[in-house]
C-alpha cells in the first residue's frame, strides 16, 4: 500500500494505539493478532471487507460485504446461495479478503481456500444483521431489481410491516475462508509503513516483515 492510500500523514494513528507490526511484537500465529484487530463476533457492528473471487473464466471479481466472524483458523461471511460470489466459489473455492481501518492506518489481507461454514454460524450471523439487512436478504432479487423504484420501495414497506421478526431465508449460505497467507499492514506518521506476512508452513506459520 502506498503512503498516499494509507491515510498517512493525514490519518496518523493515535499515539496510544498499540503498533505490533511496527514494533515487531507479533504472535507466532496470525489469528490472535487478527482477533485483536477485529470486533468480537457478538458485536452487531460488523466490519466491512472486500471479498475477491475467481469466475468460471479465470477472471478476478470483487465486492464489499460484511465479515461475519473470526475463529481459530478461519473467517466467515454470508450471502445468498444464488449470488454471483456463491456461484464463483462453487466453481473455484478460493478467495481473498481485505479489511481496512483507515482511521487506524491498518489493513489485513487473507488469502486461501473457501469452504462452507456451519449452519449454527449462519444462523448466528443472520441474527446479528440489522433489521434492514434481514429484510433485504429475502427481498433483494434480480426480479425485484428489474421493477421500477416506486414498486421496489412499496414492496419493501409491505414486508417491513408484515414481518416483525424477519426469518432467515432458505437460500442464506455461509462460507469460511481458511487462509494460507495473512498479511498485516500498519502505517506510521513518523516513518515507513510495514507489513507482517504469515504463510502456512506445515502445521504452523512462517513469519517475515516486508516493506509497506
Query: Which domains, and CATH codes, for the chain?
Result: 3-128+170-211 (2.30.110.10)
Rounded distance, CA 56 to CA 103, Å? 36
- Whether the per-residue pLDDT at 175 is higher than 90: the answer is yes
pLDDT (0 to 100) of residue 64: 97
CA distance linking residue 50 with residue 67, whole number of Å:
9
Instruction: Give the N- to C-terminal CA distance of the chain in Å, as an integer.
Output: 6
Cβ count within 10 A of residue 57: 6
Which cell goes with 142?
A: 434480480
Burial level of 124, CB count in 10 A (0-12/13-18/19+)? middle
**Hey, which residues does 200 pair with through a beta bridge?**
205
Residues 6 or more apart whose CB falls under 8 angstroms from that of 113 comprise 93, 94, 95, 177, 178, 180
- Rounded distance between C-alpha atoms, residue 166 and residue 163, angstroms: 5
Joined together, the cell numbers standing for residue 48 give: 466491512
pLDDT the model gives residue 11: 57
Q: At residue 201, does pLDDT exceed 50?
A: yes
Give, as one character, the DSSP assignment of residue 17.
Answer: S
Q: Could you tell me the CA-to-CA distances from 93 to 87, 90, 114, 175 in Å, in that order?
A: 10, 6, 5, 10
- Give pTM, 2 decimals: 0.87
pLDDT at 10: 43
For the chain, how many residues are written? 212
Q: How far apart are CA 136 and CA 86, in angstroms?
A: 17
pLDDT attached to residue 16: 63
* Tens of pLDDT, residues 7-51: 433 455 565 688 999 999 999 999 999 999 999 999 999 999 999
Percent share of the chain, pLDDT over 90: 82
Measured CA to CA, the distance from residue 68 to residue 209 in angstroms comes to 28
Amino acid at each position: 500500500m502506498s503512503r498516499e492510500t494509507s491515510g498517512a500523514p493525514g490519518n496518523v494513528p493515535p499515539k496510544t494505539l498499540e503498533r505490533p507490526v511496527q514494533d515487531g511484537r507479533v504472535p507466532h500465529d496470525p489469528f490472535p493478532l487478527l482477533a485483536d484487530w477485529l470486533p468480537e463476533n457478538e458485536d452487531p457492528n460488523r466490519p466491512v471487507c472486500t471479498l475477491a473471487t475467481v469466475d468460471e473464466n479465470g477472471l478476478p471479481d470483487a465486492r464489499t460485504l460484511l465479515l461475519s466472524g473470526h475463529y481459530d483458523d478461519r473467517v466467515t461471511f454470508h450471502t445468498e446461495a444464488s449470488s454471483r460470489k456463491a456461484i464463483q466459489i462453487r466453481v473455484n473455492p478460493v478467495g481473498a479478503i481485505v479489511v481496512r481501518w483507515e482511521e487506524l492506518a491498518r489493513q489485513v489481507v487473507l488469502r486461501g481456500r473457501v469452504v462452507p461454514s456451519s449452519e449454527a454460524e449462519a444462523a448466528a450471523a443472520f441474527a446479528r444483521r440489522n433489521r434492514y439487512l434481514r429484510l433485504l436478504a429475502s427481498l433483494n432479487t434480480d426480479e425485484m431489481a428489474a421493477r421500477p423504484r416506486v414498486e421496489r420501495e412499496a414492496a419493501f414497506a409491505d414486508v417491513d410491516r408484515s414481518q416483525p421478526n424477519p426469518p432467515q431465508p432458505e437460500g442464506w449460505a455461509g462460507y469460511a475462508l481458511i487462509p494460507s497467507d495473512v498479511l498485516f499492514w500498519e502505517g506510521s506518521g513518523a516513518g515507513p509503513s510495514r507489513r507482517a506476512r504469515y504463510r502456512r508452513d506445515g502445521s504452523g506459520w512462517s513469519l517475515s516483515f516486508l516493506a509497506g
